[in-house]
Structure 1
């Protein structure tokens, strides 16, 4: 799903649930918050969720009058940190900023997921999104996406690709590419996008399709060559990089998104307060500028719109995941 499409979807969904967004909150939050709030990032330091979490936390803390502590809890492709918050007490002090995989895709990929994101977590806000960028080392001799496909076909079994974890969009996007082009490459998962890119720079893998924030500094330095972005239209933040379709591979498009969730039992009033405050933070010109500098677009919206967005992502991606044949026991 593209960033522009997601914005249109959110506008429609918000319109459907506008009453919930504008009616005064019936329940009172009392003295909440009266202690620090924990925002879990289920990936490593420097990953896209980590970057946006720290930008939001810095401006959210003074609005709430309490520190918002960002805690990295990486592992199992984002499942560990996401599950920890899903199982936590819904007291208003535990949140997770998770991504496509742990919140939607893994319900299809895993035969036994240790938590149910649709039942044990409740949406707070869709924080932001960004395109994945497919890159190769600049000295690889590969000039474009078609060149990568040709090289994989000519050298079966000699290409590896890195990702931000099993079941992540950076894996599934490539798995779909492999299906569409009848090519083969071995998946090597890492705990974060910086680690996935480091593997590429060190020659441990031959290519990667990971968030722009992790690759663009190396593109600018000349170490990596961008081949395509994953969204349906060129990103305004990377206007010189073609889309998959422009590179000759239609029907391959996706958006890496990051959403803030709370334990399912968190009171409505607290969720609605958090939603209002985070939306206000995302609307700050300084915050938008900082996110754009990291190749991220703030999105925002209501909890109800995020819930519908996740359900639509599940409907859209389930047949795609099944078509790739990727499963995790």
Structure 2
């Protein structure tokens, strides 16, 4: 075959491929969708995924099957989404780590979150709360900061693991306040809370759902929320910013993504449906019962949140030489 003939065939195939995408989108969906959650059953992302999937399948007329693929800090499941065919039948619900911090924590991340994924919307967010044991005698942020500054390296904090938001937010607090706090990582939020209650650690920044029961019981004391604005459930608790600690945030958000190059008609339809679902009265009530708030932002706003997280965590990770390789 001559070069000219080969080029003509290649051009024709390209035209056919491009033409097939709108056709595929027009007939979508005609089979079940797979919703990959890169964390285990019962995790907060899993809860949100199942709430949304139940409603989504009613709205699109096909089953939405939730598949849990935990591992590597959320990288495993997120990679499966990134490498899936961009045909509109695979989506994922992931968190900040696999899209932002993990690009800095892992030297050889097997996917590029900016290049390999289409962003739909952040479904919900949950504030992180700075807590101490009620037995500590620490009652507010000024008293905590005074103790930390007068005793550098004496106090420690528990986290849900190296590189987790609970770890990075506390390191950001230490950097912003000019203090030094020893990190004690645990395998789960439950273990991090247990360490606090037993006195093995003195403080932590953890998702609201993990500590609200203990706050209500009076065994943990909430000093501040690591969010841009106060938490509606506890409006009397200040933000870390109000305590003078700028850019220390630990929002535990969860967002929907799809493989890059998924037909725009499909990503736009799913974004519209998911935004409507998370803002519907019954789902909003169920999210709030788990101390979460619906978001439902645009793909551009979603990407801006990820960029903000990267900018926030990059100097913290570099300063503390944090790595997961």
Range of TM-score over shorter length = 0.7 to 0.9
The equivalent position to 2:140 in structure 1, one of 135, 140, 144, is: 144
Structure 1 residue 157 displacement after superposition: 5.6
Tell me how far apart the structure 1 counterparts of residues 132 and 300 of structure 2 sit (CA, whole Å).
Answer: 39
Task: Tell me how far 1:117 sits from its aligned partner.
Answer: 0.7
How many angstroms does 1:94 deviate by?
A: 1.9
Match of 1:162 in 2: 159
Pick aligned residue for 1:259 from 230, 237, 255: 255
Q: Which residue of structure 1 lines up, in the alignment, with residue 107 of structure 2?
A: 111
Q: 1:223 maps to what in 2?
A: 219
**Are 1:240 and 2:236 counterparts?**
yes
Give structure 2 stretches of 5+ with no counterpart. 1-20
1:305 aligns with 2:287: no
What's the offset of the Cα at 1:223?
Answer: 2.7
Larger radius of gyration: 2
Quick one: distance in 1 between partners of 2:64 and 2:195? 32
Instruction: Give the match's secondary structure for 2:100.
Output: helix
What aligned pairs does 1:2-41 form with structure 2 within 5 A after superposition? 29-41=25-37
RMSD: 2.8
Aligned to 2:12: none
- In 2, the alpha carbon distance for the partners of 1:297 and 1:246 equals 21
1:1-329 maps to which residues of 2 (within 5 A)?
29-149=25-145, 154=151, 156=153, 159-163=156-160, 165-180=161-176, 181-191=178-188, 193-194=189-190, 196-201=192-197, 205-329=201-325
Q: What is the match of residue 10 of structure 2?
A: none
Change (3 A) 1:178 1:44: farther
Deviation at 1:210, TM superposition (A): 1.5
Q: TM-score, normalised by structure 2?
A: 0.81
Compared with structure 1, are the counterparts of its residues 285 and 39 closer, same or farther at alpha carbon in structure 2 (3 Å cutoff)? same
Separation (CA, whole Å) in 1 of partners of 2:47 and 2:202:
26
Is residue 32–residue 64 contact of structure 2 (8 Å, CA) maintained in 1? Answer: yes
Is the CA contact (8 Å cut-off) linking 2:247 and 2:312 kept in structure 1?
no
TM-score by length of 1: 0.80
Q: Which runs of 5+ in 1 are unaligned?
A: 1-24
Displacement of 1:189 in angstroms is: 4.3
1:169-214 CA-partner distances (Å, limit 9, x unpaired):
22211111122332121241435x4454345445554432121122
Q: In 2 relative to 1, CA 269–73 (structure 1 residues): closer, same or farther, beyond 3 Å?
A: same
> SS where residue 213 of structure 1 aligns?
helix
